[in-house]
Amino acid sequence: MDIDWIMVQHQLARLGFYGGAIDGLRGPLTDAAIVDFKRSIGLRARPYLGPLTYDALFGAKSAIDGRSTLPWMLEAAHVRGLHEARDLGVLRAWFDRSVAWIDPREIPWCGAFVATAFRQWQHDIDLPENPLGARNWMKFGRACPPQFGAVLVFWRGSKKGWKGHVGFYHAEDNTHFHVLGGNQSNAVTVSRIAKTRFLQARWPLGHQTSDRRFHADTVGIRTTVNEV
């Protein structure tokens, strides 16, 4: 099939999956965006744009509104790439009002990112007390196995300490979870976090679990060991 890559890049960018140049040239960033889009709708996550993927991409409203896509993950994907300094105004405007008072350059904001992704989807969803505290997310919703869209909580510094990190399950490899989260290299990114740091996975009440785990390669995914 003939593919207009400029149109594809525009649509992937509009949906929050692509942050590269709209130049019509298929490269690693375009392929990575296709993989992320396919993963989000439950298709096999590989950089192949066939008729099924193409129809889902350009009929994206029906795909996004369907059961296969998690609304909070779409909200999170929309702000992927925002940086706490470069995009300060946009980031603070996106934050839910319960956490919008923080300056992300001064206060760790991984919890604010997770809280806002949920509140953008469901404005009255119950958040944990003090959602800025990463480990407080272990009281959110209900426990579940790690899976696409789940809240993942990690320890930071010491497993018995109070510091932590929180983000969303995006994929995994043999040793690390690939986490879509805020305050990762001072931005919203997908980063690798060691499974040895994992504490708990949580799921919002009243929503069906995705029951999907994705194994991905590590090319282009930065590993983070201390999110500050």
Residue-range domain boundaries for the chain: 5-65, 83-203
The pLDDT-based confidence of 69 (bands split at 50, 70, 90) is low
Pair of tokens at residue 181: 């989260």
Checking if the pLDDT of 107 tops 60, the result is: yes
Q: Which CATH superfamily is domain 5-65 in?
A: PGBD-like superfamily/PGBD (1.10.101.10)
Rounded Cα gap, residues 175 and 196, in angstroms = 8
Identify the CATH number of the domain defined by range 83-203: 3.90.1720
Q: CA nearest 228: which of 138, 94, 113, 106? A: 106
Compute the average pLDDT of residues 149-153.
Answer: 96
pLDDT at 67: 32
pLDDT of residue 77: 80
- Residue 53 is inside which H or E element, if any? helix 51-58
Lowest mean pLDDT among 55-64, 147-156, 211-220: 55-64
CA 74/CA 174 separation, integer angstroms: 25
CB 146 within 8 A of CB 138: no
Give the pLDDT score at 140. 98
pTM of this structure: 0.76
DSSP state of 149: T
Q: Taking residues 117-135, report their average pLDDT.
A: 95
Q: List, in sequence order, every beta strand (DSSP E) within the chain.
A: 142-143, 151-155, 164-172, 176-184, 187-194, 198-203
- pLDDT at residue number 160: 94
